[in-house]
């Protein structure tokens, strides 16, 4: 995990799953904690190298790759952990993640590993959209649901005193302004291409989130996604992500012309988008995204579930 200064008070911790630091007057808020305890230890070494005190931890959403290290960070530093409502319940009870992936039943062994079942961590406070001060560090919380039910983005808040943060380089040569950690509200084009069908619980909510992201251009010096490099503009990525979600929903819609069987809808959607599924966990992640599209089609009055001969099918409404 690499420590990358972005502005005089914000740092990108770039790894498989990104984290970030927002620094103010010698204190820092950590945004996300990575996958596991080893990642957490690397993060804490970077915090120590900056000579700041970890004052709070913010979890953007309750997927294991973003909060798996939270319990370790909290145990080693005592820093309070904050998360959005709903996501907080999953962080405290991480079995919820594999449970919902397996339709609410006790999950099989394929879903009981660190990528879908993180260590539990107590949450000390809830996040809501707007400006907050956490451990003496001002931050701005921005709603970003869709990929996860109550995901948020976290932004630094510019103050004149920020550059004087004790123990941190003065910021000479760094950009001024604010940084927003956008979590998985958006994916870099190469990561979007790699996944084919990104995980989502509400495609309509995600499209609404993406539609609002271009308005942030010009307000922030950098945007840090949950995976991949930071960028100075988010508009292009927002358009590519929205187009991909629309294509997935269209593929699900087209599958309804050929079959009503849920498993066949998943298979035909994956085939249409060139996705090869080889392991059960990828299938369950893909199935959730496809089911989110079926819900979207039902909301639009275009599809409905029915039961025939003890089998559930989706039909044109």
* pLDDT tens, per residue, the chain with 317 residues: 999 999 989 999 999 999 999 999 999 999 999 999 999 999 999 999 999 999 999 999 999 999 999 999 999 999 999 999 999 999 999 999 999 999 999 999 999 999 999 999 999 999 999 999 999 999 999 999 999 999 999 999 986 333 333 333 333 334 558 999 999 999 999 999 988 999 999 999 999 999 999 999 999 999 999 999 999 999 999 999 999 999 999 999 999 999 999 999 999 999 999 999 999 999 999 999 999 999 999 999 999 999 999 999 999 99
With H, G, I as helix, E, B as strand and everything else as coil, classify residue 147.
coil
Q: CA–CA separation, 127 vs 143, rounded Å?
A: 10
Neighbours of 116 (CB within 10 A): 21
> Burial level of 152, CB count in 10 A (0-12/13-18/19+)?
buried
Q: CA–CA separation, 152 vs 162, rounded Å?
A: 23
Q: Would the pTM count as exceeding 0.85?
A: yes
């Amino acid at each position: 995990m690499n420590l990358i200064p972005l502005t005089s008070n914000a740092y990108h911790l770039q790894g498989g799953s990104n984290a970030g630091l927002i620094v103010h007057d010698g204190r820092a808020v950590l945004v996300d904690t990575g996958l596991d305890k080893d990642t957490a230890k690397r993060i804490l070494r970077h915090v120590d190298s900056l000579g700041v005190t970890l004052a709070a931890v913010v979890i953007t959403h309750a997927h294991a790759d973003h909060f798996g290290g939270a319990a370790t960070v909290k145990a080693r530093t005592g820093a309070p952990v904050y998360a959005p409502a709903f996501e907080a319940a999953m962080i405290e009870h991480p079995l919820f993640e594999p449970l919902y992936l397996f339709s609410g039943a006790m999950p099989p062994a394929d879903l009981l590993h660190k990528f879908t079942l993180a260590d539990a961590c107590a949450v000390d406070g809830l996040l809501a959209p707007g400006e907050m001060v956490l451990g003496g560090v001002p931050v701005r919380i921005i709603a970003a649901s869709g990929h996860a039910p109550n995901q948020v983005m976290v932004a630094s808040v510019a103050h004149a005193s920020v550059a004087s943060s004790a123990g941190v380089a003065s910021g000479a040569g760094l950009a001024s302004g604010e940084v927003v950690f956008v979590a998985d509200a958006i994916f870099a084009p190469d990561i979007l291409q790699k996944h084919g069908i990104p995980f989502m619980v509400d495609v309509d909510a995600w499209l609404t989130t993406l539609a609002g992201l271009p308005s942030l251009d010009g307000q922030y010096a950098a945007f840090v996604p949950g995976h991949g490099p930071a960028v100075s503009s988010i508009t292009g990525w927002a358009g590519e992500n929205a187009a991909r979600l629309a294509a997935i929903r269209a593929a699900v819609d087209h599958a309804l012309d050929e079959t009503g069987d849920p498993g066949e809808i998943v298979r035909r959607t994956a085939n249409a988008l060139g996705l090869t599924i080889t392991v059960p966990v990828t299938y369950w992640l893909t199935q959730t995204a496809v089911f989110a599209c079926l819900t979207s089609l039902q909301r639009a009055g275009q599809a409905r579930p029915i039961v025939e001969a003890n089998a559930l099918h989706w039909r044109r409404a």
